[in-house]
Amino acid sequence: MSNTDAPKNFIRQIIDKDLAAGLHQQVVTRFPPEPNGYLHIGHAKSICLNFGIAEDYDGLCQLRFDDTNPEKESQEYVAAISRDVSWLGYKWAGDIRYASSYFQQIHDCAVELIRKGLAYVDLSTPEQIREMRGWAQQPGTASEYREQTPEKALELFTQMKNGDFPDGGAVLRAKIDLASPNMNMRDPVLYRVRRATHHQTGDTWCIYPMYDFTHPISDALEGVTHSLCTLEFEDHRPLYDWVIDNCTLPARPRQYEFARLNLNYTVTSKRKLKQLVDEGHVSGWDDPRMPTIAGLRRRGYTPASLRRFCDMVGVARADSVVDMSMLEAAIRDDLNQHASRAFCVLRPVKVVIDNWEEGHEEMLTAPLHPQNEAMGTRQIPMTREVYIDREDFREEANKKFKRLVLGDEVRLRYGYVIRANEVIRDADGEITEIRCTYDPDTLGKNPEGRKVRGVIHWVSVARSQACEVRLYDRLFTAANPDKPEQGEGFLDAINPASLTVLTDCRVEENLRGVVPETRFQFEREGYFATDADSTDEKMVFNLTVGLRESF
């Protein structure tokens, strides 16, 4: 899976320089998700970047949960995220790590800053603190607590830790520069009081460090050399460096920023994805329409296709929106090469072959992959009654219709040529049966002196398996759901027709018993994957992607 022949992105160029200058013995990166939701395709880019670099440079990549907001986080998310990273094909170095396991060291760094006169406890209300911070053209103003002595600050911080203040009643702030043009440097909050049970540390702490304080310390404690994050953290880098410079830490990590992955026709924000789940717009985080790793997996995407997609997208510093069709092309290429072929009739109508002997069965042989003999063959039973797709039959049609027409011939793929002679209808006029005859002299050869219209797929009535097929379209109708042409917000751009369930489909009986996530090309229909809901009685398949680009 190594991508050593990938062109060097700017981060790899920096690493090459650092290694040439002897700055590091070994490259260490990390992927630092907050366990407040499932991972999405944007995270896959960060995962491929961090783990890919570690692989190619013989370095290490750690998985570290950035878990400083206990109210929003949970063990369910920890488990889901770890599962997704593994599924993508990456192995983190050592055990899973948690920022929360460094709470004591982070606390000790806070005490060090207080002792150095670089941090103070502010008892102003959150509103007062916000007001005193000023705005871009207006420098901040000092709170009355800013000049407190280190002794007083330490006493107040100890009280914070001991639970003497209510939630929001006190914060520890760094003492940096209230006039800085960078708002992050105007005495940012380092610690706040929160009485929340933490999924890892329980009720040990009632003060929690802020992300900007936690992250550089965690990186340094883990010996991270290159701390890669998305561009919105660029303005936080001076604070990152300030923390590293002013706390006694074992290493000096550096932060580098790259552009987020944005994909059209979907949203990549955990908050919005959570809203889709919580409000029931989708069936869960792993709904096959979701841009989550779990959703894409259930939809039928392979780990290789997602890694390939991330390679294609590349890593740069300029923000851009990637076309959804690029993601679809990545999985289509993969499945075109690797997926077994099968017949599935999505909208079955019965064909009775009058000159086929009752009870007679013949096994026909078909390749599992037309271009790859090594994949072997499958046996398809031919019987007197078969199903074809309703859309493959017309009572009348011109020559452009390359399927079955009344009074004309078509080939059943890998089988015989049949002729439609008559239709039988129910009381509502709906066609219930097409009566046909077959030409026994057409197996593997063309009939003499006639040209058949085309080739269609089919399955035996008695020897096929009932199944449900779920067809998906894009979850949003707007290219940028955050700014829909109509409506106010992303929920207004939801595609009401993103899911079509066909409950009455028939698939080759060979597929009975295949496990979820087995992928197929249903010939002439698209690429499909067995869903987690699939059982032996009622198989369920998800449309992964169509045979060709449809937008």
The CB-of-259 to ligand ATP minimum distance in angstroms stands at 8
- Sign of the dihedral defined by the CA atoms of residues 242, 246, 251, 252, in that order: positive
In the bound state with ligand ATP, the residue whose beta carbon lies nearer, of 50 and 534, is 50
Indicate whether 72 belongs to the interface with ligand ATP (CB under 6 A): no
Indicate whether 43 belongs to the interface with ligand ATP (CB under 6 A): yes
In the bound state with ligand ATP, the residue whose beta carbon lies nearer, of 32 and 300, is 32
Indicate whether 230 belongs to the interface with ligand ATP (CB under 6 A): yes
Site stretch for ligand ATP (CB under 6 A), options 26-34, 290-298, 347-355, 447-455: 26-34
The CB-of-516 to ligand ATP minimum distance in angstroms stands at 27
Provide CB contacts within 8 A for 502, sequence distance 6+. 346, 347, 468, 469, 470, 471
The CB-of-204 to ligand ATP minimum distance in angstroms stands at 23
The single residue among 12, 33, 417, 472 that binds ligand ATP, judged by CB under 6 A, is: 33
Cα-based angle 352, 402, 432 (whole degrees, multiple of 5): 30
Indicate whether 460 belongs to the interface with ligand ATP (CB under 6 A): no
The single residue among 173, 270, 289, 384 that binds ligand ATP, judged by CB under 6 A, is: 270
Instruction: Give whole-number Cα distances, 279 to 272, 275, 475, in Å.
Output: 10, 6, 15
> Which residues on adjacent β-strands are paired with residue 149?
none
Helix (H, G, I), strand (E, B) or coil at 509: helix
Site stretch for ligand ATP (CB under 6 A), options 43-51, 149-157, 364-372, 399-407: 43-51
The CB-of-249 to ligand ATP minimum distance in angstroms stands at 20
The single residue among 46, 383, 510, 530 that binds ligand ATP, judged by CB under 6 A, is: 46
Q: Which one, of 214, 290, 302, 242, lies nearest residue 518 by Cα?
A: 302
Distance CA 47, CA 36 (A): 17
Question: Which residue of the chain is nearest ligand ATP when measured via CB?
Answer: 42
Instruction: Give whole-number Cα distances, 256 to 18, 24, 262, in Å.
Output: 13, 16, 19
In the bound state with ligand ATP, the residue whose beta carbon lies nearer, of 84 and 389, is 84
Indicate whether 296 belongs to the interface with ligand ATP (CB under 6 A): no
The single residue among 24, 146, 260, 350 that binds ligand ATP, judged by CB under 6 A, is: 260
**Beta strands 431-439; 348-353: pairing state:** parallel
Distance CA 99, CA 66 (A): 5
The CB-of-246 to ligand ATP minimum distance in angstroms stands at 23
Q: Which one, of 209, 211, 259, 257, lies nearest residue 235 by Cα?
A: 257
Of residues 192, 254, 270, 403, which has the active-site annotation?
270
Provide CB contacts within 8 A for 20, sequence distance 6+. none
Distance CA 197, CA 354 (A): 72
Distance CA 528, CA 4 (A): 32
The single residue among 269, 275, 283, 518 that binds ligand ATP, judged by CB under 6 A, is: 269
- The answer to whether 505 touches 467, Cβ cutoff 8 Å, is yes
Site stretch for ligand ATP (CB under 6 A), options 31-39, 185-193, 374-382, 394-402: 31-39
In the bound state with ligand ATP, the residue whose beta carbon lies nearer, of 237 and 519, is 237
Instruction: Give whole-number Cα distances, 549 to 137, 237, 480, in Å.
Output: 50, 42, 20
The CB-of-297 to ligand ATP minimum distance in angstroms stands at 18
Indicate whether 268 belongs to the interface with ligand ATP (CB under 6 A): yes
The CB-of-237 to ligand ATP minimum distance in angstroms stands at 13
Query: Catalytic annotation on 538?
Result: no
Site stretch for ligand ATP (CB under 6 A), options 172-180, 261-269, 299-307, 393-401: 261-269
Of residues 72, 152, 194, 260, which has the active-site annotation?
260
Query: Catalytic annotation on 474?
Result: no
Indicate whether 221 belongs to the interface with ligand ATP (CB under 6 A): no
Question: Of all helices (H) and strands (E), which one includes residue 14?
Answer: helix 10-20
Instruction: Give whole-number Cα distances, 314 to 188, 308, 374, in Å.
Output: 34, 10, 34
Q: Which two tokens stand for residue 464?
A: 């096929």
Per-residue b or e along 168-186, where b marks 16 or more CB atoms closer than 10 Å to that residue's CB: eebbbbbbbebebeeebbb
Tokens 């489909």 belong to 505
Indicate whether 97 belongs to the interface with ligand ATP (CB under 6 A): no
Site stretch for ligand ATP (CB under 6 A), options 159-167, 182-190, 263-271, 362-370: 263-271
Q: Which two tokens stand for residue 479?
A: 């290219």
In the bound state with ligand ATP, the residue whose beta carbon lies nearer, of 240 and 387, is 240
Distance CA 139, CA 71 (A): 33
Site stretch for ligand ATP (CB under 6 A), options 38-46, 172-180, 424-432, 508-516: 38-46
The CB-of-39 to ligand ATP minimum distance in angstroms stands at 8
The CB-of-75 to ligand ATP minimum distance in angstroms stands at 16
Indicate whether 261 belongs to the interface with ligand ATP (CB under 6 A): yes
Site stretch for ligand ATP (CB under 6 A), options 30-38, 292-300, 437-445, 485-493: 30-38
Query: Catalytic annotation on 34?
Result: yes
Indicate whether 311 belongs to the interface with ligand ATP (CB under 6 A): no
The CB-of-220 to ligand ATP minimum distance in angstroms stands at 17
Q: Which one, of 218, 215, 224, lies nearest residue 59 by Cα?
A: 224
Q: Which two tokens stand for residue 125?
A: 């209300």
How many CB atoms sit inside 10 A of residue 496's CB?
7
Supply the angle between the helices 10-20 and 41-56 in degrees, to the nearest 10.
Answer: 30
Distance CA 241, CA 60 (A): 22
Question: What DSSP designation does 490 have?
Answer: G
Indicate whether 62 belongs to the interface with ligand ATP (CB under 6 A): no
- Give the catalytic positions in this structure: 34, 260, 270
Residues that bind ligand ATP (CB under 6 A): 32-34, 42-43, 45-46, 229-230, 260-261, 268-271
